[in-house]
Amino acid sequence: MTAIAVEHETTARTARPAPARIPTTRLIAVELRKSFDTRSGFWLMASIGILAVVATGATILFAPDSELDYEAFASAIGFPMAVILPIIAALSVTSEWSQRTGLTTFTLVPHRSRVIGAKLAVSIGIGVVSMLVAAAIGALGNVLGTAITGTDTVWNVSAAELFYIVVANVLGMLVGFMLGVLLRNSAAAIVGYFVYGFALPPLTFLLAENQQWFKDLQPWVDFNFAQGNLFNGVMTGDNWAQLAVTSLVWLVLPLAVGLRLVLRSEVK
């Protein structure tokens, strides 16, 4: 091969255009599809609607007629949502390590922060849509339940209160997402969420009941307590400030640490 031919071939190789960057919308679409395309993922997502229907039916069957109102349905549906949504968010992250797909994912998209951002967007979207679907199922149950029992249909949850409930559940979902990013292990993230969401609140409650100094400090250091104010239906300026401070300490900073670990850890 002559020197001119070698130079021409080298120029052709260097002139080859780089592949276009994968758009964020495609990443979000892929992450959304990955939430449904396995049996476990499909049934975990389907359980949101199934449990909402079960909770609605149980409220109609077992709640006293005098307490059959929209708030009763919203409360009944809210508990399974508070359990399932954080698990979905955690598994959306940890599945890359537990199912050993991370090497493929991060090879196709070397910028890991873009993948995590797409997972975060999908988690928030699933949380909001799930709560709206659950609210619609609860509304239907309220109409059917009062029609069956012959009582008046009571709509005692305002749009503002419904918004607060959605925000509270999305924040809970973000806690699950944060634990998934921080721990990158499905079992550890799920156990961590149950400890944080169900074991820690009684302990802080007992501490606040017995120690005045912690009772005064609790709204500013206890994220569960600050998040719980959203379910009360009324948020003052102090409540929002307390939620912001506790979110920064318990959610934002651990998520930042976890994201740094994801960006620097070796994927096998």
Model confidence over 144-162: pLDDT tens digits?
A: 988 888 888 888 888 888 8
CB 198 within 8 A of CB 228: no
- Does the pLDDT of residue 14 top 60, yes or no? no
**Tokens 């599809």 correspond to what residue?**
33
- Does the pLDDT of residue 131 top 60, yes or no? yes
By percentage, how much of the chain surpasses pLDDT 70? 93
Q: What is the DSSP letter of 232?
A: G
Q: Mind listing the pLDDT tens digit for each residue in 85-115?
A: 999 999 888 888 877 777 778 778 888 889 9
Tell me how far apart the alpha carbons of residues 137 and 189 are, in angstroms, rounded to a whole number: 29
Residue 3, pLDDT score = 53
The average confidence (pLDDT) of the chain is 85
Written as one letter, the residue type at 139 is A
176 burial via Cβ count (<10 Å: 0-12, 13-18, 19+): buried
pTM of the model: 0.86
Q: Mind listing the pLDDT tens digit for each residue in 230-254?
A: 888 788 989 999 999 999 999 999 9
- Does the pLDDT of residue 206 top 80, yes or no? yes
162 burial via Cβ count (<10 Å: 0-12, 13-18, 19+): middle
Model confidence at 6, pLDDT cuts 50, 70, 90, reads very low
Residue 108, pLDDT score = 80
CB 153 within 8 A of CB 59: no
- Does the pLDDT of residue 46 top 90, yes or no? no
Tell me how far apart the alpha carbons of residues 23 and 20 are, in angstroms, rounded to a whole number: 9
**Number of helical H runs and strand E runs in the chain:** 13, 0
